Amino acid sequence: MVTRETSPVDTSVLEDGLGDSEDSSDVDEEEELFQPPQTECVASPQYDDEEGYDVTALQPAIRKSGTKVEPSTLRASHVLGKGAFCEVRANLCSKSEHLVAVKRARTDVVANMHALAERDLRIESMMLASLKPHINIVSYIGWGEDAYGFFIVLDLVPETFHARFSKWQAESQRLPNEAVSRRILTKCWPARCFRRRWDALWARRLGAARDLASALAHLHSNSVMFRDLKPSNLGFRGDILILFDFGLAKVFTGDDGAFVPTPETGSARFMAPEVAKGEKYDHSCDIYSFGLMLWQISRLRMPFVDYNEAIHFQTVVQGGARPKLPARWQSDLKYLISISWAEERKRRPTAIRAYDTLVTILESYGAPRSIDSIRSEIKSC
Ligand SMILES: Nc1ncnc2c1ncn2[C@@H]1O[C@H](COP(=O)(O)OP(=O)(O)O)[C@@H](O)[C@H]1O
Ligand SMILES: [Mg+2]
């Protein structure tokens, strides 16, 4: 079976960091207009995969639950980003006169991969169309089909996670080293001033982590596993974090919710060990990835940055290694991260518990408990 992650074009599954291949900054400036497919855009004959998705069966479901968008109402503009198999472009929608994001299968991959990418897109379309809207999940506008194939139309997320992450890093570098200075600078005026700025930066970052927990809580309470949580699937509108890319999302059922997985589901760096090892997994695989994301947001550094795929598998997946938790971090934060990436999936917290913990931590940084309506919305699902 072929999965998105085993594709020959996805040569660096560990490369999801700053300046990685999915970053929009890598996009060729010359390539302004949408090019016709170089490969034949064939309908996949039988892409029933091991998880029982039948593309031919998906099509009517999409037609029922999503809004059809007329291709003539869209005018393609610049590339927003590329994944291993899909390309996302800003398009001007003549009806709303707004820029929207249009996601299609990439045309520069082999025909077989193009067909698989379209299959994932149809799944993504169906998933987004059936999900109740949530402030931290990309809004789905509809789907369409033209000479180049199937596409989905989404709200445009203005800022990538990578761009915001770089801003956080720059902001942190402009301040004195927190670990040293908090101890040295006590009581004096600059200390109070710096403390306010450190706290404000922590609050902004942990606010993003809280948004992520809220998005996951929404998905899990609707029996959806995201399965591909990583920086390149996140963005920002203002200070609100937005989760996108539902190509690998899947509905889970059953008592313990465990599945025999697709072995390479999600990107290696953020992938739960049980998924990487091809063992049974459930929605707690998203919590493992969340734990690593929370560490990255707190540490302002990519986890396992020096590890190649083989070393990662040996030390993290098989050896159980995790990034270090600095002693100076709040104990609640350290505890939340360490249980989120626990080896034993039953020990990991639910997304709603992670959300509650982050709201409490945020209060200690002066953030108000203003978004509790989100929690009640999650609970009512
Ligand atoms: N709604 C959106 N608004 C703005 N940029 C987007 C949007 N969706 C995706 N992107 C950009 O396109 C890239 C690839 O999209 P993604 O949905 O992650 O595709 P893939 O399934 O190939 O990983 C993302 O990393 C991001 O930079
Ligand atoms: Mg992606």
pLDDT of residue 189: 60
Residues with CB under 6 A from ligand 1: 22, 24, 80-86, 88, 101, 103, 138, 154-157, 160, 232-233, 235, 244-245, 247
Encode the chain (381 residues) as per-residue pLDDT tens digits.
334 433 322 323 343 443 333 333 333 332 222 232 332 222 222 223 444 444 444 444 444 457 899 999 999 999 999 988 899 999 999 988 999 999 999 988 888 889 889 988 998 998 999 999 999 999 999 999 999 999 999 999 999 999 999 999 999 998 877 766 666 666 666 666 777 888 899 999 999 999 999 999 999 999 999 999 999 999 999 999 999 999 889 888 654 445 555 544 557 899 999 999 989 899 999 999 999 999 999 999 999 999 999 999 999 999 999 999 999 899 999 999 999 999 999 999 999 999 999 999 999 987 766 554 455 555 443
| DSSP secondary structure letter of residue 331 | H
Name every residue whose Cβ is closer than 8 Å to that of residue 310 and which is 6 or more positions away in sequence.
none
The secondary element (H helix, E strand) that includes residue 97 is: none
Lookup: tokens for 89: 């472009």
Supply the Cα-derived Rg of the chain in whole angstroms: 21
Quickly count: other Cβ atoms within 10 Å of residue 369's Cβ: 10
Contact between residue 167 and residue 161 where contact means Cβ atoms under 8 Å apart:
no
In the chain, which segments carry CATH 1.10.510.10?
Answer: 13-33+160-243+267-380
In the chain, which segments carry CATH 3.30.200.20?
Answer: 40-157
| DSSP secondary structure letter of residue 264 | T
pLDDT of residue 267: 73
The secondary element (H helix, E strand) that includes residue 341 is: none
Best mutation site among 137, 245, 248 for ligand 1, i.e. most ligand atoms within 8 A of its Cβ?
A: 245
pLDDT of residue 367: 75
Q: What one-letter code names the amino acid at 260?
A: V
Residue 232 C-alpha to ligand 2 middle, in angstroms?
A: 6
Contact between residue 265 and residue 228 where contact means Cβ atoms under 8 Å apart:
yes
Residue 73 C-alpha to ligand 2 middle, in angstroms?
A: 26
The secondary element (H helix, E strand) that includes residue 157 is: none
Residue 220 C-alpha to ligand 1 middle, in angstroms?
A: 22
The strands making up 234-237's β-sheet, listed across from edge to edge, are: 159-160, 234-237, 240-243
Lookup: tokens for 72: 């003539």
Residue 203 C-alpha to ligand 1 middle, in angstroms?
A: 26
CATH fold of 13-33+160-243+267-380: Transferase(Phosphotransferase); domain 1 (1.10.510)
Contact between residue 241 and residue 136 where contact means Cβ atoms under 8 Å apart:
yes
pLDDT of residue 68: 92
Contact between residue 119 and residue 128 where contact means Cβ atoms under 8 Å apart:
no
CATH fold of 40-157: Phosphorylase Kinase; domain 1 (3.30.200)
pLDDT of residue 377: 53
Give the ligand at the shortest distance from the Cα of 242: 1
pLDDT of residue 137: 98
